[in-house]
Amino acid sequence: MKGKFITFEGIDGAGKSSHVDWLADYLRQRGKVVHITREPGGTALGEKLRELLLNQAMHLETETLLMFAARREHLAELIEPALARGEWVVCDRFSDATYAYQGGGRGLDRAKFLALEHWVHEHLQPDLTLLFDLPLDVARERIVRAHRVLDKFEQERVDFHDRVRQAYLERASGNPSRIRVVNAENSIDHIRKQLEKIVLTIC
């Protein structure tokens, strides 16, 4: 039996991370073995690359290649073995983030993204992607309210985040059965009820 791969996506400040733990607990209560992980990161090497990627300025293609290098390691070390054992993986961001941030936000050539996606995970896509969507000003307000040091992406200008959001929505409309858009402005309770309904479709 193959496990299921669920990813969470959205612009910075969409509040997806708080729902990751909740969904994993929900699935565990239904008897699943669940791994929570994130990108960039999820392995010892991946977390080192994350530190660089979130803080160090670099060429766009270097950034993209490092995202996919971390991803290759993550797939080999954690995601693929867990799925092969029939376990579930809940991952905070995956390749849709590269499509949206490096592609939409920074303007990476689409063909280069597709070539890397094909190379790194030709035969694997998430079974379900939850895209947390909300207006930029609401997301920004949440980030400011959190009072923490902003990473390289969070420090980008509003037009960057607008392009990221549009790229996510475009990717969602091209993959409607995999990517489900969640209105991140709704209350936590409302969102949880919606997540329950969506996730039951793949249980």
| 131 interacts with ligand TYD by CB under 6 A | no
CA 5/CA 151 separation, integer angstroms? 27
For residues 141 to 160, the per-residue mask of contacts with ligand TYD, x marking binding by CB under 6 A and - elsewhere, is: ------------x-------
Stretch that binds ligand TYD, among 24-32, 89-97, 130-138, 188-196 (CB under 6 A): 89-97
Say if CB 96 and CB 171 are below 8 A apart.
yes
Question: Which residues in 153-192 contact ligand TYD (CB under 6 A)?
Answer: 153
- The 10 Å Cβ neighbour count of residue 132 is 22
| 55 interacts with ligand TYD by CB under 6 A | no
Q: Which residues contact 176 (CB under 8 A, 6 or more apart)?
A: none
Residue whose CB is less far from ligand TYD, 37 or 98:
98
120: tokens are: 């790194």
Half-sphere exposure of 51 (CA within 13 A, CB side): 5
Residue whose CB is less far from ligand TYD, 5 or 101:
101
In single-letter form, the type of residue at position 42 comes to: G
* Contact residues for ligand TYD, defined by CB under 6 A: 12, 17, 39-40, 54, 67, 92-93, 97-98, 101-102, 153
